[in-house]
């Protein structure tokens, strides 16, 4: 259990004990806080602190209250995260086999890819934020596989936000899984070079789009949507992209989406030659790529879909406290609920507390940060 002040108590939390200035008592009926009136009544009864089970937290849909304190998306339960982790581990194994088959010039069977895509779509609907948390934990030794998997998840999440039907979402997932498939045939010393590529090396790297074409042609029953994700993710609205220099309306919505998602995941990935950017840092750079490279309207939708400070991302407050974004506030995406557990001023872990920045306007986020920047591990707090 974790002790928080009554001011930090929010809808969806599971309360087990209450505490006044003089005593601490177990609730006669421990349970979830579903109505703001419950919080108000506790305050009126002189309750100063409550003891909550932080592993139990209702989603916004489960609370069944539509008032202003219930606008937002919540972190997932431990069970959701375990199931999401299983999905991603299985996906890595399947994708690894696919890449090995391509490298060995073996026939490609689309059925396992479609099954994998179906699992991604189903899990985005069932446990969207758990998937986002786990997919953010990257294995840098297998970047190509991780990147392909993340692009698939991000495309499905983006497509769902835009209202695409289930069949289209599955094809987006397939497209994400195979979008960089030609890189398997790029020279290893260039693909894994720890630094900026020379002009000649970059020209060779761009050939991965050329290499992709015959591989995609060899996959039976691959949809046009999946092909477009793969063949358009490096095209630009002004015609200066590759491999075909598509321009304006020739680069349709699927191609524009894939370009946004590919850049976002590349910017937010740790590589041996660069640190990962935070989502907010990546979004600032991507906004600078509009309107000549990226579609500004779609990019704004993507930012709203992901969240300026996504659930599970690490942030530092102005007073030096650090925590994970725990709940989004849809009224103001810059003021989420943050689960605090570390201080950069003392360089020490501290007692866990939850701060709703939408209700604490005296506190602001100073910056997004990362485990690498702080030299800490935070898995225990997810």
pTM of the prediction?
0.66
Local confidence band at 344 (pLDDT 50, 70, 90 cut-offs):
very high
Least confident among 198-212, 253-267, 271-285: 271-285
| Average pLDDT over every residue of 219-239 | 93
d(CA 195, CA 274): 8
H or E element, residue 353: strand 348-356
Say whether pLDDT at 101 is over 90.
no
Between 233 and 7, residue with greater pLDDT: 233
Say whether pLDDT at 64 is over 70.
no
- Measure the N-to-C terminal CA separation of the chain; round to a whole number of Å: 15
Domain 78-306 class in CATH: mainly alpha
d(CA 265, CA 209): 18
Say whether pLDDT at 62 is over 60.
no
pLDDT of res. 273: 66
pLDDT of res. 327: 86
pLDDT of res. 126: 59
Greatest mean pLDDT among 167-171, 211-215, 235-239, 269-273 lies in: 235-239
The tokens describing 183, both together, are: 């890189």
Provide, rounded to the nearest whole percent, the portion of the chain with pLDDT above 90. 32
pLDDT of res. 68: 33
pLDDT of res. 63: 52
The tokens describing 308, both together, are: 């300026």
Which residue matches tokens 């609730």? 27
pLDDT of res. 346: 93
- pLDDT tens string 65-94: 333 333 444 444 455 556 666 666 777 777
Which 8-state DSSP code applies to residue 368?
Answer: E
38: left (phi over 0), alpha (psi -120 to 50) or beta: alpha
- pLDDT tens string 345-361: 999 999 899 999 988 98
Say whether pLDDT at 135 is over 80.
no
Specify the 3-state DSSP secondary structure of 123.
helix
Q: Domain ranges in the chain?
A: 2-70, 78-306, 314-381
């Amino acid at each position: 259990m974790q002790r928080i002040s009554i001011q930090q108590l929010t809808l969806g939390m599971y309360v087990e004990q209450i505490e006044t200035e003089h005593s601490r008592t177990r609730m006669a009926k421990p349970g979830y806080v579903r109505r703001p009136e419950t919080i108000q009544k506790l305050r009126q009864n002189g309750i100063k602190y409550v003891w909550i089970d932080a592993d139990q937290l209702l989603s916004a849909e489960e609370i069944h209250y539509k008032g202003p304190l219930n606008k937002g998306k919540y972190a997932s339960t431990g069970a959701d995260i375990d199931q999401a982790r299983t999905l991603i581990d299985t996906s890595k194994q399947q994708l690894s086999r696919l890449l090995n088959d391509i490298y060995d010039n073996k026939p490609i069977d689309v059925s396992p890819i479609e099954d994998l895509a179906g699992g991604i779509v189903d899990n985005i609907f069932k446990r969207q934020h758990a998937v986002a948390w786990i997919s953010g934990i990257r294995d840098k030794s297998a970047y190509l596989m991780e990147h392909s998997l993340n692009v698939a998840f991000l495309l499905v999440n983006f497509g769902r936000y835009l209202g695409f039907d289930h069949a289209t979402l599955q094809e987006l997932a397939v497209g994400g899984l195979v979008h960089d498939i030609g890189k398997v045939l790029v020279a290893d010393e260039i693909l894994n070079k720890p630094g900026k590529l020379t002009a000649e090396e970059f020209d060779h790297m761009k050939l991965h789009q050329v290499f992709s074409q015959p591989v995609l042609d060899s996959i039976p029953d691959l949809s046009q949507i999946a092909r477009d994700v793969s063949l358009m993710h490096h095209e630009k609205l002004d015609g200066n992209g590759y491999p075909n220099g598509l321009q304006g309306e020739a680069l349709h919505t699927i191609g524009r989406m894939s370009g946004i998602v590919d850049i976002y995941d590349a910017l937010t990935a740790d590589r041996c030659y660069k640190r990962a950017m935070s989502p907010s840092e990546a979004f600032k750079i991507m906004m600078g790529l509009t309107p000549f490279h990226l579609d500004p309207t779609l990019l704004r939708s993507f930012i709203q879909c992901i969240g300026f400070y996504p659930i599970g991302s690490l942030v530092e407050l102005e007073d030096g406290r650090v925590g994970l974004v725990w709940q989004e506030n849809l009224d103001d995406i810059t003021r989420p609920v943050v689960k605090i557990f570390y201080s950069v001023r003392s360089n020490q872990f501290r007692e866990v507390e939850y701060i709703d920045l939408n209700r604490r306007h005296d506190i602001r986020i100073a910056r997004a940060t990362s485990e690498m920047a702080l030299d800490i591990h935070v898995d225990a707090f997810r």
